[in-house]
Structure 1
Amino acid sequence: MVFAHDVEVGLQAAVDLANTAQDPDSLTTPDDLADFYSRFSYSGRHDRTDEELAEIRGLRGRLDALLRADRDEAVVLVNEMLAEAQAVPQLVRHGDFDWHVHAVPAEAPLSTRILVETAMAMIDVIRIDEMSRLGVCADDDCDGIVLDLSRNRSRRFCSVTCGNRNAVAAYRARQSSS
């Protein structure tokens, strides 16, 4: 394992959220947000309203910029995010998760918690100089973000869909040249 579990989940959630802005947009209803909340085991306040959905959708650009930034740019963005939220790291335990770090209270808006949890996860990425774990999808028709947590750093596509599309294209190219 490269990162602690909470860091990996925070990074995966941030990448997933940023990639929902790809065409077609996959975060359009409060139910879509509820699925995201559940899939990534968020805890605390979740209003399930159109306003909350709009706030979360509004984060996607900031998360995308952070996840595509170089190391020095990422430091600036992380520090801004943490200062904006007046983050105070503290150890918490909830659900199936043992002690891990949260930096804003559970009552804070979900958009604030997502932003801060992403910033906290990025601290570890920056500190151990693992920015190369983040990249852009190798599919020529996709601009999605890839989080490569594999041991051999072999992940190239942001989703199974992009990977399958490229595998089929490569297969067809081999078949036509035979």
Structure 2
Amino acid sequence: MQFNHDNMTGPLLAAELASLAADAWTIGGAERTLEWHRIRRAELSQESSERLRQWAVQLRSVFSAGNEELRYREINRLLEAGTTRAYLTTHDGLKPHLHFTSDDDDVVARVKAVTAGGLALFTVEAEGGRLGACTRAGCPQVFVDTSRNGRRAFCSAKCGNYVAVRRHRGLT
């Protein structure tokens, strides 16, 4: 399955924020993540950072859902909490794309909308799968699986190799 990476901002941002919230949340780290994903006006106050961190914790439920029906329920919950309206737009030289809340909203509202809407669109395109949490014990990372076969179990080759070496040495 081929994915258009230009349309991956929502799910990739959701994965990075959920992982950041589970590992080492800082205002600076959150701002850098938002800027990397081209979220405009990404400055965070202490209060908006905390609101965004709480949202990021909620995002994790989509990646760690035990089955597709639970994942759909979680995405619908996020859509209800994070979006206000859908509309087609172009700006900043980007191709036409959907927005799920007013561009005048604050950064947290806009991030909620782009992550909830992006997860929904990706889940439709991926036919319900391809979102996951790393299966290495103790790893807090979640991921969007854009691999060819869609059977990714680890956030990175490093985690996969760690588990394989431990299994080979009889440590698991």
Q: TM-score range by the shorter chain?
A: 0.7 to 0.9
Identify the residue that residue 110 of structure 2 maps to in structure 1.
113
Question: Following superposition, which runs of at least 4 residues in structure 1 exceed 6 angstroms of deviation?
Answer: none
2:83 and 2:112 in contact (8 A); partners too? no
1:63 and 1:115 in contact (8 A); partners too? no
Q: Do structure 1's residue 80 and structure 2's residue 68 form an aligned pair?
A: no
Change (3 A) 1:62 1:171: closer
Identify the residue that residue 20 of structure 2 maps to in structure 1.
20
> Percent identity, aligned pairs only?
25
* Structure 2 unmatched runs, 5+: none
Instruction: Using structure 1 for the length normalisation, give the TM-score.
Output: 0.77
More off after superposition, 92-101 vs 1-10: 1-10
Change (3 A) 1:74 1:138: closer
Matched letter for residue 56 of structure 1: L
User: CA shift at 1:162, angstroms?
Assistant: 2.5
User: CA shift at 1:145, angstroms?
Assistant: 1.7
Larger Rg: 1
The two structures, once aligned, show a CA RMSD in angstroms of 2.8
Instruction: Using structure 2 for the length normalisation, give the TM-score.
Output: 0.79
Give SS of 1:20's match.
helix
* Structure 1 unmatched runs, 5+: none
Query: How many residue pairs end up in the alignment?
Result: 169
User: CA shift at 1:125, angstroms?
Assistant: 3.6
Give SS of 1:101's match.
strand
Q: Do structure 1's residue 158 and structure 2's residue 160 form an aligned pair?
A: no
